[in-house]
Amino acid sequence: MSIVTLVTQQAPDFTADAVLPDNTLGQITLSSYKGKNVVLFFYPLDFTFVCPSEILAFNKKLDEFKKRNTEVIGVSVDSKFTHLAWKNTPVENGGIGNIQYTLVSDLNKNIAREYGILFNDAVALRGLFLIDTKGVIRHAVINDLPLGRNVSEALRMVDALQFVETHGDQVCPANWQEGDEAMKPTGEGVASYLAKHGK
């Protein structure tokens, strides 16, 4: 399945080994998070270059995600033991320290394959999936290996999703931020919005 066909569909479920926020080794099942939003993001490998910057950036904003009833889960093709070793490596030595969200082990690469982002049958591309409280993928983005993601944009998309779920008669236009005016999804609504913001 390609990343394009996943949006609007139920997120492929999985049960996998993971390092939990308290540094214990366990398993998680994605469908057990129904009732919360989930930002599920894939990265290529532990102990690499762009990856720790992203992982730490998500951790810095973790409280903001949690305020929005949103769990952050990272996934790579490394083992749970490699994840734990990376967490136990200080940031100044290229590690990620004691981050406070779950890292999933996709050692057999099945999860990346299911989400359509396995690259050269080796590692996951930088795929990010926003899953709603019913387990449906509502937003997806994919970056090539050297291109780090914008965590603030992931948070903005959570805000946008929650806004349209709360205000079913409105949609979020380009560059919408929490507190901005939204748009009625009608001809008149578009005209009214663009008259004020389109120039």
The answer to which of 144-153, 155-164, 171-180 has the lowest mean pLDDT is 171-180
Angle ∠(167,170,173) on CA atoms, nearest 5: 125
Catalytic residue among 11, 18, 30, 51, which? 51
What does the pLDDT average to over 83-107?
A: 95
The yes/no answer on whether domain 3-149 falls in CATH 3.40.30.10 is: yes
Mean pLDDT across 102-124: 97
Q: What is the pLDDT of residue 115?
A: 97
Give the pLDDT score at 60.
Answer: 97
pTM equals 0.94
Q: Look at the block and give the residue holding tokens 């030595």.
A: 93
Cα–Cα distance for residue pair 183/199, rounded to 1 Å: 16
Write the secondary structure of the chain as one string of H (helix), E (strand) and C (coil). Answer: CCHHHHCCCECCCCEEEEECCCCCEEEEEHHHHCCCEEEEEECCCCCCCHHHHHHHHHHHCHHHHHHCCEEEEEEECCCHHHHHHHHCCCHHHCCCCCCCCEEEECCCCHHHHHCCCEECCCEECEEEEEECCCCEEEEEEEECCCCCCCHHHHHHHHHHHHHHHHCCCCECCCCCCCCCCCECCCHHHHHHHHHHHCC
In terms of pLDDT, which residue wins out, 84 or 172?
84
Say how many Å lie between the first and final Cα of the chain, rounded.
Answer: 40
The sign of the CA dihedral 11, 16, 17, 21 is positive
- Give the whole-angstrom CA distance, residue 106 versus residue 41: 12
pLDDT at 2 over 60: no
* Rg, Å, the chain Cα set: 18
Domain positions in the chain are: 3-149
Closest CA to 36 of 44, 28, 26: 28
Q: Please give the single-letter amino acid code of residue 139.
A: H
Per-residue pLDDT band for 4 (boundaries 50, 70, 90) equals low
Whether 172 is catalytic: no
Q: Are strands 37-42 and 126-131 parallel, antiparallel or unpaired?
A: antiparallel
Quote the pLDDT of residue 98.
95
